[in-house]
Structure formats: C-alpha cells, structure tokens
A and B are shown apart, each in its own frame.
Chain A
Amino acid sequence: MTPTEPLVHGAAAAQTAERPPLPVKMVIAGGFGVGKTTSVGSISEIEPLTTEASITEVAAGVDDLTHTPRKTTTTVAMDFGCLTIDPTLKLYLFGTPGQERFGFMWDDIVEGAVGGLVIVDTRRLDDCYAAVDYFEHKGIPFAVAINAFDGKVEHTLDEVRWALDVSEGVPLVVFDARERGSVRDALLVVLELALARTEG
C-alpha cells in the first residue's frame, strides 16, 4: 500500500451526494464609489468576495490597419455575495463596475440574471448611464436605487427620472446602501418587477 492511498469511498460518496441549490442571480451596477460593495455586504450572509472577471471593451473607432473594431479585454473586480433562501434555493448578488464604454460586454457576468439594481449617486448621475442603457437594451427588469449619501439627495425623483431618461415602468427608490432592510427592500422592488413580467 502506498502512503498516498486516498482514504475515501464510502464517506466521500455520501458527502458528495449533496445537490447544489438553484442559483438565482441579481446584478448590482453603477459607477465607482456609489455603494455597490456596501450594498452586497449589507445583505450577504458571507463577507463580500471579490473576483476578477474579464470584460471586453469595444473601443470607439476602428483599428487603423484592419478596419475592425478594436476590442480589448479588461480585468475588472466583481463583488459577490449570497443569501440562502432555503437548502434548494440561493440568491447570488454580483456587483459590477459600470464604466462608460462597456458597450454590451457585461454579458459574461449578467447573462441569466433575474434582475438588476442600478445604484446612483445624485451628485454624479452620468456615472450610471451605461448600466441603465445596458439593462434597458437587454430587457432585464431593473430599478434605479438612489443612494442617499448622508441622507441627502441632490435632486427630486422627477429630476432624476428626467435626467436618466428612464421609462415610467422603471421604479426609482431612495435607499441607504449601509442598511440591510433598505437594500432588501430595493431588491424586492426588482424581484416584484421580474415576477410581474412573468405574469404579464
């Protein structure tokens, strides 16, 4: 018998019979510093983890030599948290950085998501256009969550809606990324929207 002989079989077989839960995914998007990581951390049952993922950026203009759009792959930090609903169902939250020129290359992270939450800091509204456009284009149910830094919102909801040019069907909520109940309620707004769509 070799010293590396694995001591497995019966016990291991039983251990691995565990069926994984059905993972339901939601995406939290927005510009840098708007409160994505804070939101994930407020609701997740684990400390938020950060993973490196690739996004493909399609550069404006074309490559001089080949006349094809220049694509570059960029590594971004993606936050991640989860919440066990029951042993067969788990909610996964992914915080994706929302920069200007992403085009529609978030698919790698977002594909299959039941809904999205776009976090907005009213002091720099334009940081979230890319995310709003993305969810609208993809037809993914989403809400806009205004993070009231220090309890202050610089614009009225109507002003924000007008500035973002989101349709009436997109809920706007004011929330606090640090408050678990507040993040929960914002996610519930998105889930209700997703549910209404299945029933619509």
Chain B
Amino acid sequence: MADGSPPPGADPVGPAPAVRPFLVTAGRVADTASGRTMPVETQVVATAAGLGALAGLSFEQHDIVAACRRPQSLAELAARLRLHLNVVRVLAEDLRAAGQLTVHVPDVAATHDASVLRRVIDGLRSIPDSRGVLRDTD
C-alpha cells in the first residue's frame, strides 16, 4: 500500500489451533487411497457405525462424527470445529478407515461436466439481486 497503512479488513487469522490436534495426528498428512490430498470440498458423512460408536470416541473424533450426521465438507468441519484443515483431513481419513465416516472425494470429471456447469449457472441465475427480492428476468 502506498501510504504504508495496514490494508482494511486484513484477513483475520483466528486463534492458533490447539497443539493437541497436532499430537493427535502426529504430524501426518492425509492422502486418499490414490495418493491425492483430499480437496477442501470433499464431503464427509457419518455412518451408522460411527454414530453408534460416538460415546467411545475422543474429543476431536467425537466432534467430527457428531457434526457429520449431515454431509459436511472438510472446510466446513474445520471451520466449525476450529481445527486446522490438515488435522481434519487426517482425522477424517482415520475415521473412514475405521468405518465411522464415509468420505466422498469429488470426481473432477463430474464437477467439470457441461451439464453440471449448466445446472450451476441456472441455479445461480435464479437467485435474487438481494436477499428476499426476486430478480427481474430480462
């Protein structure tokens, strides 16, 4: 910035994540079976077995499975549980291996498919200019 002042609304970095999750994950990096890092939008859902085992799970694992009663993205989980994204990646992979979560890594071909893009375009077009006001269509 020309005047050297801090930029407005500089991205806040929230409170430093607790050290504990890093101990929990022992510094591991989670990859999918194919060796690809799970994308941030990867969907995670609790299994019946996972919900059944809730009482026996440790803090972070418990919170993740509990939050995944409905499908969540990894990013959503990290934000809601205040965990570093990589911690959530590792824990989600562990929980998947234990049969407590299903992890749905998006298929790039599917998300880039023309018919999918058209549906996103149509869906986005139909949202109003401002909340609660319908947009004039042409």
Interface residues of A (CB under 8 A from B): 4, 6, 8-9, 12-13, 15-16, 18-25, 31-33, 36-38, 43, 49-54, 75-80, 82-83, 85-86, 89, 91-92, 94, 97, 108-109, 111-112, 114, 123-124, 179-181, 184, 187-188, 191-192, 194-195, 198-199
A75-B123 in contact given A21-B71, A89-B116 (Cβ < 8 Å): no
Cα A194 to Cα B121 in complex, Å, equals: 10
Q: Which residues of A contact B104 (CB under 8 A)?
A: 20
What is the distance, in angstroms, from A55's C-beta to the closest C-beta of chain B? 11
Q: In the complex, are the beta carbons of A77 and B11 less than 8 A apart?
A: yes
- Set of chain A residues within 8 Å of B85, measured between Cβ atoms: 51-54, 78
Per-residue contact bits, chain B 96-136, to A (CB 8 Å; 1 contact, 0 not)? 00000000101010111110111111011101111100010
Q: Which residues does chain A contribute within 8 Å of B121, judged by CB atoms?
A: 188, 191-192, 195
Q: Is the CB of A89 within 8 A of B117?
A: no
Closest 8 CB pairs of A and B: A181-B129, A20-B43, A33-B7, A49-B79, A20-B71, A85-B123, A23-B41, A13-B48
Q: Is the interface of B mostly helix, strand, loop or mixed?
A: mixed
Cβ contact within 8 Å between A112 and B111: yes
Cβ-defined partner of A112 (8 Å) among B12, B39, B125? B39
18 contacts between A and B (CB under 8 A): A6-B52, A6-B53, A6-B55, A8-B51, A12-B48, A16-B46, A25-B40, A25-B111, A32-B9, A33-B9, A54-B86, A77-B13, A82-B76, A91-B123, A91-B124, A92-B41, A108-B37, A195-B118
Residues A94 and B71 in contact, CB atoms below 8 Å apart: no
Chain A residue, CB-CB nearest to B1: A124
User: Given contacts A179-B130, A180-B131, A195-B114, are A91 and B71 in contact (CB under 8 A)?
Assistant: no
Chain A: CB-nearest residue to B87: A52
Q: How many interface residues does B have (CB within 8 Å)?
A: 64
Give Cα A50–Cα B86 distance, bound, in whole angstroms.
14
Complex Cα–Cα for A21 and B121 (A) = 16
Q: How far is the CA of A192 from the CA of B23 in the complex (A)?
A: 45
Residues in chain B within 8 A of chain A (CB atoms): 1-2, 7-14, 17, 37, 39-48, 50-56, 69-71, 73, 75-76, 78-80, 84-86, 104, 106, 108, 110-114, 116-121, 123-125, 127-131, 135
- Which of the residues B40, B116, B118, B128 comes within 8 Å of A53, measured between beta carbons? B40
C-alpha spacing A78/B106, complex, angstroms: 20
Q: How far is the CA of A126 from the CA of B105 in the complex (A)?
A: 35
Residue of B nearest to A192 (CB): B121
Task: Name the residue on B nearest A198 (C-beta).
Answer: B114
Not counting A9-B52, A194-B117, a sample of 18 additional A-B residue pairs whose C-beta atoms are within 8 angstroms of each other reads: A15-B48, A16-B51, A18-B70, A20-B104, A23-B106, A49-B80, A53-B86, A54-B84, A77-B11, A80-B75, A112-B41, A124-B2, A180-B130, A184-B125, A191-B117, A191-B124, A194-B112, A198-B114
CA distance A76 to B17 in the complex (A): 12
Contact across chains for A37 and B9 when beta carbons are under 8 A apart: yes
Q: How far is the CA of A38 from the CA of B86 in the complex (A)?
A: 25
Chain B nearest CB, measured from A194 CB (Å): 6
